[in-house]
Every structure is written in structure tokens, then in C-alpha cells.
């Protein structure tokens, strides 16, 4: 039994919620006026009672977006995952069907796992060849002001996109777990946030192009000048992290967020390139 379900269909030419159901600990808020009225989009805020996900919570949600509709699913604040009690794992899952010529924009606030939290998130999207999807999936290192940096026990996030029900288009699972061989904090280096952004579909072509151009330009600037020459005599213990922590880039986007020297990376261009090449 799902914790929540939303169906959106075109009613009198406008994207309309025709079915909305949610039960504890999930709650949907669907405000009527969010964006400008000339833009046809339904905004859905997903909230959890108590402001976070408690150990052992299991939240599953189904989203059906009918042909020609646009929906935005977001949160009111960051998703806090509280500490695990008795090694219980908290789970959230989303299954979304995106119809022909429709768009789903999934832009939640980041997940913040408290110390010892265990969390698993699975999002499955079934799309048509002309569906559109903007997906942002991100996680912070924890309550880093309290000194909790990558201090949670287990975080696993799966994002799968299938074309016409069964063709795997994009399968991505990130597992961040405390481990003895390769400590988690060491794996994340000085980064406090990690994000993945997916832009899929014909309506987003111009943004994909823009993003690729921006990344190319940023990368060229960063990699300009002589590449770091390796001096084997050099026994430097001071790590020059300035480069990395603020503007680490690749074919994904990296933006610096001024407040706390957070660098966040989104994985886009690789995926975008895949789409543009195959002309889907």
C-alpha cells in the first residue's frame, strides 16, 4: 500500500491534479498559485510530519503524469534523516510515469543524514521517447556545523530511468557507507555536498546545450596553464585543496555556493551527450 499517490491529467487544457492521496508520515501540499499563471505547471510539495524521516519509516509514492502535462515535485526544506534506532533503515521510494510530451521536474532540497542514520532511496522513472525530466538528487555531509561530516552509517540512492517501460536508459546507484577499507570521509575529500542532475527530453535541449557550453568554458578556465607537473622529489604534505573544494569540475556541473565553501557537482553532460547523440 502506497503512502502517497498523485495523478495529473490535462483538464480543460491545463495540467490538473485529478487524484491526490497521502497518509502518515507523508503529506502533500498542492498550492494553487506558485508560478506565473501563463505557465501551465502543477507544483507539489512533499512533506513529512515532524520535518524529517524517522528510523524505520517507509514512504512510497506513485506519480502519474498524463500526456502534455507539467508537474514540479519539491520539498519545503531539506530532508533530514534522523539517527537509526536498532540498525533500522529508513526508506523512501518514488515511482513516476511520465507521459508523452510531459515534463516532471523533481527538485527536492538535499537529504541530510544525521550521525548513525541509515537511509535508502529509490526513484524509478518510466518515460516515453518524448517525455521530459529534470531530476536533482543531492545529499549534504550532515549537520556539519555540529561536526557531523559524512558521519551517517548508510546512504543509498538509486535513480533508474526506463524507456517505454523496460529499456534501461539510465541506471545509477550511489552507496555511501561507513567502511573500514576506504573511510567514507576520505572518499568524499573536502566536499560537503554531492549532487546529481539529469536533464532529459526534447523540451530541455536548449538547456542541455547551455549547460555543456558553460561547463566547457569553466573547465577550460580551470585547466588552463601548464598541467600540474609532477616532481618526484616533492614530498609535500600540505594538500593544495583550494582548487578542489571550490571549483572541482568535469563534464558535470560544479557551482560554488559561497556560504561555506561547499562545492557541489551535478552529473549532467555525460547523460545529456548520450541523449543528443542518439537523437532521442
Partner 1 sequence: MEIDMERNNNRKRPASTDLPLQWSQWQLLDSILPTGGFAHSSGLEAAIQTRVITGPEDLHTFVVHVLENTGSLLLPFVYTASKSPSADTLCKLDRMLDAMLTNEVGRKASVAQGSALMRVAASVFSEIPLLKTMRDNFLSSGAVSFHHAPIFGLVCGLLGFESETSQRAFMFITLRDVISAATRLNIVGPLGAAALQHQIAHDAEAITEKWSNRGVEEACQTVPLLDTVQGCHGYLFSRLFCS
Residues in the site for partner 1, rule: CB under 8 A? 156, 158, 167-177, 179, 181-182, 186-189, 191, 194, 216, 219-220, 222-224, 227-228, 230, 232, 234-237, 239-240, 243-244, 248-252, 265, 267, 269-271, 273-274
Nearest-approach distance from CB 131 to partner 1, in angstroms: 16
CB 219 within 8 A of CB 160: no
Nearest-approach distance from CB 251 to partner 1, in angstroms: 4
145 backbone dihedrals φ, ψ, rounded to 5°: -65, -30
Between 51 and 213, whose beta carbon lies closer to partner 1?
Answer: 213
DSSP type of residue 129: T
Nearest to 138 by CA among 109, 158, 114, 116: 109
Nearest-approach distance from CB 271 to partner 1, in angstroms: 6
In the structure grid, which three cell numbers stand for residue 223, read together? 585547466
Q: Is the link from the previous residue into 123 a cis peptide, with omega within 30 of 0?
A: no
First-to-last C-alpha distance (Å) of the chain? 35
Between 244 and 255, whose beta carbon lies closer to partner 1?
Answer: 244
Nearest-approach distance from CB 243 to partner 1, in angstroms: 5
Between 37 and 167, whose beta carbon lies closer to partner 1?
Answer: 167
Q: Is the dihedral of CA 183, 230, 215, 212 positive or negative?
A: negative
Between 11 and 175, whose beta carbon lies closer to partner 1?
Answer: 175
Amino acid at each position: 500500500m502506497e503512502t502517497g499517490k498523485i495523478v495529473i491529467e490535462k483538464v480543460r487544457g491545463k495540467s490538473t491534479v485529478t487524484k491526490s492521496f497521502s497518509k502518515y508520515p507523508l503529506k502533500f501540499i498542492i498550492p494553487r498559485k506558485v508560478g506565473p499563471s501563463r505557465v501551465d505547471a502543477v507544483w507539489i510539495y512533499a512533506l513529512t510530519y515532524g520535518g524529517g524521516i524517522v528510523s524505520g519509516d517507509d514512504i512510497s509514492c506513485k506519480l502519474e503524469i498524463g500526456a502534455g502535462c507539467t508537474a514540479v515535485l519539491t520539498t519545503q526544506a531539506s530532508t533530514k534523516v534522523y539517527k537509526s534506532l536498532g540498525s533500522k533503515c529508513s526508506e523512501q521510494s518514488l515511482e513516476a510515469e511520465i507521459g508523452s510530451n510531459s515534463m516532471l521536474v523533481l527538485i527536492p532540497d538535499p537529504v541530510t543524514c544525521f550521525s548513525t542514520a541509515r537511509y535508502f532511496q529509490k526513484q524509478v522513472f518510466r518515460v516515453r521517447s518524448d517525455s521530459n525530466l529534470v531530476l536533482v538528487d543531492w545529499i549534504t555531509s550532515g549537520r556539519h556545523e555540529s561536526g557531523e561530516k559524512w558521519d551517517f552509517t548508510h546512504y543509498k540512492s538509486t535513480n533508474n530511468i526506463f524507456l517505454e517501460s523496460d529499456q534501461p536508459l539510465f541506471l545509477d546507484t550511489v552507496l555511501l557507507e561507513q567502511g573500514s577499507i576506504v573511510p567514507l570521509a576520505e572518499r568524499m575529500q573536502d566536499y560537503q555536498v554531492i549532487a546529481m542532475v539529469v536533464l532529459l527530453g526534447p523540451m530541455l535541449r536548449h538547456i542541455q546545450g547551455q549547460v555543456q557550453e558553460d561547463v566547457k568554458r569553466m573547465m577550460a578556465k580551470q585547466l588552463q596553464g601548464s598541467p600540474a607537473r609532477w616532481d618526484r622529489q616533492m614530498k609535500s604534505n600540505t594538500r593544495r585543496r583550494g582548487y578542489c573544494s571550490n571549483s572541482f569540475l568535469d563534464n558535470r556541473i560544479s557551482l560554488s555556493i559561497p556560504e561555506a565553501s561547499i562545492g557541489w557537482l551535478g552529473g549532467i553532460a555525460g547523460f545529456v551527450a548520450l541523449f543528443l547523440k542518439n537523437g532521442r
